[in-house]
Amino acid sequence: MTDVPALRERLVDVLRDDGGLTRDDVIQAFATVPRELFLADGFHLGEAGFLRPGDDGFLAAAYRNDALVTKFDDGRPVSSSSQPSLMALMIEALGVAPGMRVLEIGAGTGYNAALMAHIGAAVTSVDVQPDVAARAAAALDRAGVTGARVRVGDGYLGEPSGAPYDRVIVTVGITGVSPHWLAQLVPGGLMLAPVAHAGNNPVLRVWTRPAAGRAEPGWPATDEVWADGICGAGFMAAAGPLAARYPWAHPDPLRVPDGVTPSVQIPPRWKQPLDGLSYHDLWFAVGAWDRRTTSGPFDGGSGCVLADDTRAGGAAIRADGSVIAAGAHAAAFANDAGILLDRWLDAGRPGIERWRAPLVLAGDPAAPIYVPREWSLFA
């Protein structure tokens, strides 16, 4: 199919069915903004390899509901166009509306900024990579977008020249939120950011509340920065202060080879495996309750793992509720994984959106970040 308007309409149908696209103005943005113009230098898509404009399948792939890698550094992906369903969900969850000033951290291809500009927002996009920023700016110009600008700079610092902003949207995986972004938000402004949690980067909604604000049950009035879970996601990792470690962080994702022979196996809990969204709900909960949780390879992919101190053993929780474990303490880790599974089931299988945490300053003292301290379920 090379009928571009039809390809856009088909993408809109997919995003509607996915549930993340509901607003008429966001639907119109996806039906209008030419994603292919933001992929003029080509992209990599799985087994299809690298596709450039004019290649067979380029346009069809450009309008698939997939993340498209647009830049590699030593074989590692460092820039991409995010999955459209995730873009739609984040734009709607953030409540982007006409007249708003939006700060975007991570320019990518410029497509996300173009979508928000089409809605009527004034977007300032910041990217630390000069070539990525230049390509995004050129794509915005090609597409005739006048409501978005791209700046080269350290995303940690935000962009003071455009402040204050009504919204901040972060499109790169981070371990914590920059205080500069919060300082550049208007009172009552909101932020969406993919903050590291248990080997993933789930999207969180972040906001501030005055210290003298009304205390909610179980929440001290002195906590000023808050986060709620929005959805599971994966993003390319940031560098510098935005990737800083802190004492209670989860372990980094495991890189041990797949195919390690498990010494303990617990049978499945249910016949029908959890779908991707529900599995990420389980994964988030396990990570909220156990700091050993991270991402690890098994069964030809990756999933929720409790890692032991050796980082070569522990327990993996499968989507069917079964558990496999290996290493010197396999039995104990398998038992712990089973207890966490029971806890999630007993809690009613809570989704990511049921979790809330106060954020506290941690990371590099010279360039601190706000990170989640303790996650709790709320109604």
Write out the catalytic residue numbers: 82
Burial class (CB in 10 A: 0-12, 13-18, 19+), 98: exposed
Cα dist from 316 to 23, 266, 337, whole Å = 39, 10, 8
Which residue from 153, 107, 365 is spatially nearest to 244, judged by alpha carbons? 365
Rounded Cα gap, residues 116 and 105, in angstroms? 14
Rounded Cα gap, residues 196 and 65, in angstroms? 23
Contact partners, residue 168, CB within 8 Å, separation at least 6: 102, 103, 104, 105, 158, 181, 184, 185, 189, 190, 191, 192, 193
Which residue from 34, 84, 90, 50 is spatially nearest to 64, judged by alpha carbons? 84
Contact partners, residue 296, CB within 8 Å, separation at least 6: 199, 253, 254, 256, 302, 303, 304, 305, 307, 314, 316
- Residue 275, CB-side half-sphere exposure with 13 Å CA sphere: 3
Are 66 and 51 in contact, with CB atoms under 8 Å apart?
no
Which residue from 232, 239, 189, 194 is spatially nearest to 209, judged by alpha carbons? 189
Rounded Cα gap, residues 63 and 11, in angstroms? 6
Which residue from 169, 162, 165 is spatially nearest to 185, judged by alpha carbons? 165
Are 225 and 177 in contact, with CB atoms under 8 Å apart?
yes
Strands 323-326 and 264-266, bridge-based pairing: antiparallel
Residue located via tokens 């303490």: 329
